[in-house]
Chain A
Amino acid sequence: KAGVTQTPRYLIKTRGQQVTLSCSPISGHRSVSWYQQTPGQGLQFLFEYFSETQRNKGNFPGRFSGRQFSNSRSEMNVSTLELGDSALYLCASSLGREGQPQHFGDGTRLSIL
């Protein structure tokens, strides 16, 4: 069974640009969550999508947005990039039911110059 796939694996951008990251969940999983991981802050929740609707959102500025498609694939967009956005962005999928584990992809490493 294929795991969670994230593309691209690495990205280098400059300040002010925007970026789109992609996530393909495990087949049958309807929930996709996005997390930001940095050495200083650890893993922090960005947002969750379930059946194409944003179900929950973390404490990040509006520059961070996402969407989910009918096949459960999800994209995350960051506009007006700042140096502090450099991080590993992780996508996780699950069945979406309470108490079910989330399964993570290997992330997209975003570096802002």
Chain B
Amino acid sequence: EDQVTQSPEALRLQEGESSSLNCSYTVSGLRGLFWYRQDPGKGPEFLFTLYSAGEEKEKERLKATLTKKESFLHITAPKPEDSATYLCAAPQTGANNLFFGTGTRLTVIP
């Protein structure tokens, strides 16, 4: 059964304190692992797509990596504006729709 699990559920960091968010997945024939950021009252904002184990992508203070079983979103020296819920998602086997993890709610304290 296709499944995406995120941890931790919530994370509080001091400004400048680097950390990582985890997304483990069980998908037959992965056709992309997606990371999104969601701010309160907004829709998810696309961040990255990773397609194969070993792939890495970066954007500002964020770096996403992928292994055969999990993906990590590394946040380096976070700022308060990085506070948001981070979601990972994968396409359902044989379809185009995404199934999402429950997200990690990140709070960065000044």
Contact = CB atoms under 8 A, between A and B. Distances in A.
A binds B: yes
B85 to A, nearest CB: 10
Contacts, number: 65
B86 to A, nearest CB: 13
A28 interface: no
B27 to A, nearest CB: 12
A99 B50 CA distance: 9
A42 interface: yes
A19 B96 CA distance: 26
B48 to A, nearest CB: 9
Contact of A55 (B41, B87, B96, B100): B96
Provide the main secondary structure of the chain B interface: loop
Contacts of B103: 42
Contact of B102 (A42, A45, A96): A42
A102 B43 contact: no
Contacts of B34: 101-102
Contact of A98 (B31, B43, B45, B100): B31
Nearest to A57: B97
A98 B98 contact: no
A106 B31 contact: no
B33 to A, nearest CB: 10
A33 B97 contact: yes
Given A43-B87, A98-B31, A98-B91, A103 B100 contact: no
B21 to A, nearest CB: 16
Interface in B45-78: 45-46, 49, 51
Interface string A43-59: 10100101000011010
B98 A45 contact: yes
